Amino acid sequence: MSVKTATDQPMTAVSVGAADATRLAHHTFPSYRPHLAKIGPGTPHFAHALWVGERVAGLILGEIEGTTARLLSVSVSKDERRKGGGRTLITAFETEARRRGCRSATVQFTVPSGKAAPIASLLRASAWPDPTLFSIIYTMTSAESVAAPWFVKAQRRMTDLNIQALSDASTTTINALKAIDWAPDELRPTAHMPTGPDGAALYPEASAVLLGPPDAGEGDVRGYILIHRAGAMGARVSAGWMRPGTYHGFAYGALIAHANRRIVGDGLPGASFVVRAHDRPMALFAKRYIAPLVGDIRDCFDCTKSL
């Protein structure tokens, strides 16, 4: 596809060969450069460069997974934006995906909170559905959380809520989690989580904090969060869950406060939290009480289009 820019320079998307991958690496995000290096005939990775006259002004990178094409990155140089280049790249990506037999195209992207408009509008302009927010990521030090106004209330809640901390994410914890509405796909290894051959080994260094009514047995768990060590990062808290309808007041805050106590107890400097936004109370809590305290909140979206 070719479009004209305001200065009448033609914009064209051209398939990138393996020989050009290194030269174009700065057009994609550092974490996707290894994928770009793998493009070539017979590999699932492919890319198109956006040519404006004699120079490259953008790049789209994709990967085929069965009958789905995953859009890994799309970018257009600042001085060439809003001239149709993004749309040209998306069209080239979809055409290549169809040529390779894909029936759907999908993208997951993470942006600083509130900054989703350019990519979301670009997708919309290319007839993709509206992206869905699926999680929120933020980093908060223990000191920040302890200084937070909600921490005091959360501490008070902790006495009513019987929060139990399990010292490891071993079989005991996993069984306790399975006894509740545990969604096994949350144990799926992700970029944020250590991997392992079975569920119990996925979190070799993790602790779980479980929430239940006073004197609850393991089968009466109402919520949990997992804490795991993340090297120099300190600790990472992920995969939080509250039983629907159980959430009240500061229960989630209580979980975080408790997690932080453990983190401080272990001498770890900070925690980054991954909040699954489909759990609305947690997402609301994070947006309302945590967002004002921390600068760096990132929103993660996903979006899938039928081809």
Ligand X SMILES: CC(C)(COP(=O)(O)OP(=O)(O)OC[C@H]1O[C@@H](n2cnc3c(N)ncnc32)[C@H](O)[C@@H]1OP(=O)(O)O)[C@@H](O)C(=O)NCCC(=O)NCCS
Question: Which one of the spans 69-77, 225-233, 246-254, 268-276 is the region binding ligand X (CB under 6 A)?
Answer: 69-77
- Which single residue brings its beta carbon nearest to ligand X? 86
Based on CB atoms, which residue is closest to ligand X, 86 or 234?
Answer: 86
Based on CB atoms, which residue is closest to ligand X, 49 or 282?
Answer: 49
Compute how many residues bind ligand X; rule: CB under 6 A. Answer: 18
Q: Nearest distance from residue 272's CB to ligand X, in Å?
A: 21
Residue 76 as a binder of ligand X (CB under 6 A): the answer is yes
Q: Nearest distance from residue 89's CB to ligand X, in Å?
A: 7
Based on CB atoms, which residue is closest to ligand X, 37 or 201?
Answer: 37
Residue 179 as a binder of ligand X (CB under 6 A): the answer is no
Based on CB atoms, which residue is closest to ligand X, 127 or 232?
Answer: 127
List, in order, residues 6 or more apart from 302 with CB less than 8 Å away: 106, 107, 108, 109, 131, 132, 134
Question: Which one of the spans 71-79, 143-151, 184-192, 193-201 is the region binding ligand X (CB under 6 A)?
Answer: 71-79
Q: Nearest distance from residue 80's CB to ligand X, in Å?
A: 6
Q: Nearest distance from residue 124's CB to ligand X, in Å?
A: 7
User: Side chain identity at 284, as an amino acid letter?
Assistant: L
Residue 86 as a binder of ligand X (CB under 6 A): the answer is yes
Based on CB atoms, which residue is closest to ligand X, 74 or 225?
Answer: 74
Residue 99 as a binder of ligand X (CB under 6 A): the answer is no
Q: Token pair for residue 108?
A: 């997951």
Q: Nearest distance from residue 168's CB to ligand X, in Å?
A: 37
Based on CB atoms, which residue is closest to ligand X, 85 or 270?
Answer: 85
Give the Å distances, CA to CA, from 176 to 8, 118, 238, 292.
64, 43, 17, 34
Subset of residues 105 to 164 that bind ligand X, contact rule: CB under 6 A: 109, 117-119, 121-122, 125
Site track 33-62 with ligand X (rule: CB under 6 A), x = hit: ------------------------------
Residues binding ligand X (CB under 6 A): 73-76, 81-87, 109, 117-119, 121-122, 125
